[in-house]
Structure 1
């Protein structure tokens, strides 16, 4: 982080600022054995079903598609 601060790259400075703001979460994400892969997979599946429906149906039909898939 110190090396990036020494360079003249404003976009990288913004990235480092974001890392420093949430440094505890960054460290935990890189060191702890847990992840949210299963949850992300379910979210991805639901978004795919919603994209396939292309706003042609109601929330009720989306719920049926998700529970039956």
Structure 2
């Protein structure tokens, strides 16, 4: 969903297509994943940065992805 927060407990790879902005929080990102997320208008964050940015996740649409 557009503007959703996606949490990945691992490395995000650049496989597939992304046509809407999302915020992706993960341990690591491949260079192609970084490029695709940013080209779609999204942003990437480490877990530490996410905890600083979102003091709590109340009212946020968060999706936890498994690997």
TM range (shorter): under 0.3
Which structure shows the bigger proportion of residues in helix conformation? 1
Q: Which structure has the greater CA radius of gyration?
A: 1
Identify the structure with the greater strand proportion. Answer: 2
TM-score by length of 2: 0.22
Q: Normalising by the residue count of structure 1, what TM-score does the alignment of the two structures yield?
A: 0.21
Q: Which has the higher contact order (CA 8 A, sep 6+)?
A: 2
